[in-house]
């Protein structure tokens, strides 16, 4: 696995393919294409193959070429990539101020009362672990 997450230069389409690959764990182009279809993202086989090739060139996926069809696997855990993407988003959109992101979600009523309570419980749990 690469030491530094390769997330900044992933396109939206590449990230969608990577998410589908995480869902199947390891798979062929056809497996990834099927998973994308389940998500309402019907792409041509050759398009999925091209996107997986680009992800491999960026070291975001590994490719087992010892058998055919090739088997692709994400080079990084989903949580690591999404965490880094979120950090980039907060840095770029909210000038690094995570509280601004949260306040925007709360103030614009994007979160339900149940979601807010669940967040409060997770914050309390995280604070308890830091003590």
* DSSP one-letter code for 73: E
- d(Cα 130, Cα 54) in Å, to the nearest integer? 40
Sequence-ordered list of residues with C-beta below 8 angstroms from that of 56, at least 6 positions apart, any chain: 62, 63, 72
Specify which residues 63 forms β-bridges with. Answer: 72
82-112 pLDDT per residue, tens: 999 999 999 999 999 999 988 888 888 778 8
Query: Is pTM, for the whole model, over 0.85?
Result: no
- d(Cα 51, Cα 49) in Å, to the nearest integer? 6
Spans of the chain, pLDDT less than 50? 1-3, 5
Burial class for 87, CB neighbours closer than 10 Å (0-12, 13-18, 19+) = middle
Are 36 and 21 contacting, i.e. CB atoms less than 8 angstroms apart? no
Alpha carbon separation from 28 to 36, 53, 65, 66, 70 (Å, rounded)? 12, 12, 11, 13, 6
């Amino acid at each position: 696995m690469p030491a530094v997450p390769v997330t900044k230069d992933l396109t939206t389409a590449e990230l969608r393919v990577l998410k589908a690959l995480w869902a199947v764990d390891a798979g062929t182009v056809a497996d990834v294409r099927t998973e994308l279809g389940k998500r309402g993202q019907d792409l041509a086989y050759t398009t999925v193959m091209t996107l997986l090739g680009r992800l491999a060139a960026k070291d975001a996926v590994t490719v087992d070429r010892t058998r055919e069809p090739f088997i692709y696997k994400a080079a990084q855990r989903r949580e690591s990539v999404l965490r880094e993407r979120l950090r980039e988003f907060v840095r770029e959109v909210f000038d690094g101020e995570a509280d601004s992101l949260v306040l925007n979600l709360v103030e614009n009523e994007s979160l339900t009362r149940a979601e807010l309570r669940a967040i409060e419980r997770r914050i309390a749990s995280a604070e308890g672990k830091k003590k």
